[in-house]
Structure 1
Amino acid sequence: MFLRTESFKEFLKFYPVVSFLVGLHFFLWILIDVLGLGFARDLESFGVGVNLFILQGEYWRLVTPIFLHSGFTHALFNSFSLVLFGPALEQMLGKGKFIVMYLAAGIFGNFGTFIVDPDAYYAHLGASGAIFGIFGVYVYMVLFRKHLIDQANSQIIMVILILGLFMSFTRPNINILGHIFGLIGGFAVAPLLLRRARPFSIWQVRAQRTSSTRSDISFDPNRWNQKKLPIKKYGKYIIWGLIIFLVLVALASGSF
């Protein structure tokens, strides 16, 4: 569900919204940080979430920070989390509902920051609130729609979420309110968006691979005598260990 096995071409075809968002992250990063174009710098200043400016009526700043990042590392790690956990949800909800969820969670994260943070000049940007909203939807599945997510993936979600929240509170320069309210926003809209959702499937690609693998195994008379290499036995644990580490780094990169 969260391990990406698609080719680049398949990924673009199957998950157009996630692909567009990731592309937008890096497009804006190139314009602002690499090329340093004047209008791009103005665009960043125009879009950063600043409580005082929102209070003065610049309400677009509740939306625009979702797409802006403070440098390559920030954009990279948030995009990594989006690529890992966004596709399954996009396929389950559909493009339209996924967009609604992503924006709702991101806006709610920024709104929570605006309402609760007492610092009028506090500035923040980043997609972390919207990404925590994705986790909010998954948490709702774990608690109330168990048929949509299996036990193994439920455990992965809860472990990463708990560790991600812990790191949000312990690392500096993190918009903790954005993370928490983004999570709440995703959880809040989940009941409406998941009404007709179906469990994630990888379509024909995975079916063909599974069929081929089973066919090969069924005609191997010595399959029970073959020794498993340690890398095959522990490979998935190593992979998930690396993924969890990278996701935690991504979530801890936060919204500055």
Structure 2
Amino acid sequence: MFVREENFKTFIRLYPVVSIITALHLIIFLLLNIGPQADFLYYYFAGSNYYISQGEYWRLATPIITHVSLTHMLFNTFSLVIFGPALERILGKGKFLIGYMGAGILADLATYLILPLNFAHIGASGAIFGLFGIYLYLMYARKEYLGAGNRQILLVVLIFSLITTFTTEGINIYGHLFGLIAGAALAPILMAFVRKHKYR
């Protein structure tokens, strides 16, 4: 389920939403690190609480595809490529996009409401934790989608990710936690419109 065996073309055909988001991660990362447009893009894409308070609400969404650090970008993109495809197959393209972006936006909204106006952030971590939230719902409410082995893998990854959240400097803790909560809250709504079948 989490082992990718597809070639490049097959991966894009089977998981177009994951592929597009992955491409956006890479393109925006390059644009933020190469050329004169880097400062301009960062200024308008960063999740600045102050500018959100001034009505720039797109900043609740743009941080989800924005990374400056190579390590940050690779970690989030790798997580998306590993854990996103199964959910895109289960939910379908539209509902997967709603779940992913919805969890990320709700995590950024929580960040805005809780943290001070001078706080700014970037990164897809809230949306990635949203995927874990959806999986958490599946593990306990729709067990037919996940075998015992996959549940164990997810629990280990989730526990490790939560430990890292609280032990690593510079992490937006509220973004991670509320991304997880948002994914779990959106999951039953999204799954209500999914035909009953096991992931294959």
What TM-score comes out, normalization by structure 1 length?
0.75
Q: How does 1:95-110 map to 2 (within 5 A)?
A: 95-110=93-108
Residue of structure 2 aligned with 1:183, choices 169, 177, 180: 180
Q: Distance in 1 between matches of 2:11 and 2:163?
A: 31
Q: How does 1:1-256 map to 2 (within 5 A)?
A: 1-33=1-33, 35-38=34-37, 40-117=38-115, 119-195=116-192, 196-197=194-195, 198-201=197-200
Q: Distance in 2 between matches of 1:89 and 1:175?
A: 24
Query: Per the alignment, in what secondary structure is the counterpart of residue 66 of structure 1?
Result: helix
Note the alpha carbon deviations across 1:129-188, whole angstroms, 9 max, x for none.
000000000000011111111111011111111111111001100001000011111111
Q: Distance in 1 between matches of 2:163 and 2:27?
A: 31
Runs of 4+ in 1 over 2 A off after TM superposition: 35-38
Per the TM alignment, residue 54 of structure 1 is displaced from its structure 2 partner at its CA by 1.1
Query: Per the alignment, in what secondary structure is the counterpart of residue 75 of structure 2?
Result: helix
Per the TM alignment, residue 41 of structure 1 is displaced from its structure 2 partner at its CA by 2.5
Question: What amino acid is aligned across from residue 156 of structure 1 in structure 2?
Answer: I
Query: Per the alignment, in what secondary structure is the counterpart of residue 26 of structure 2?
Result: helix
Per the TM alignment, residue 9 of structure 1 is displaced from its structure 2 partner at its CA by 1.4
The equivalent residue for 1:248 is none
Structure 1: give runs of 5+ residues left out of the alignment.
202-256
Q: Distance in 1 between matches of 2:133 and 2:179?
A: 8
Any conservation in 1 of the 2:107–2:182 contact (CA below 8 Å)?
Answer: yes
Q: Distance in 1 between matches of 2:198 and 2:128?
A: 20
Per the TM alignment, residue 71 of structure 1 is displaced from its structure 2 partner at its CA by 2.2
Q: Distance in 1 between matches of 2:130 and 2:198?
A: 19
Per the TM alignment, residue 37 of structure 1 is displaced from its structure 2 partner at its CA by 2.8
Structure 2: give runs of 5+ residues left out of the alignment.
none
More displaced stretch, 11-20 vs 66-75: 66-75
Question: What amino acid is aligned across from residue 36 of structure 2 in structure 1?
Answer: L
Note the alpha carbon deviations across 1:177-236, whole angstroms, 9 max, x for none.
0000111111111001112253221xxxxxxxxxxxxxxxxxxxxxxxxxxxxxxxxxxx
Q: Distance in 2 between matches of 1:31 and 1:51?
A: 23
Question: Quick one: percent identity of the two aligned structures?
Answer: 49
Any conservation in 1 of the 2:134–2:184 contact (CA below 8 Å)?
Answer: yes
Any conservation in 1 of the 2:29–2:73 contact (CA below 8 Å)?
Answer: yes
**Number of equivalenced pairs:** 198
Q: Distance in 2 between matches of 1:179 and 1:110?
A: 9
Considering only CA atoms, is the larger Rg found in Structure 1 or Structure 2? 1
Question: What amino acid is aligned across from residue 113 of structure 2 in structure 1?
Answer: I
Per the TM alignment, residue 115 of structure 1 is displaced from its structure 2 partner at its CA by 0.9
What TM-score comes out, normalization by structure 2 length?
0.96
Question: What amino acid is aligned across from residue 37 of structure 1 in structure 2?
Answer: P
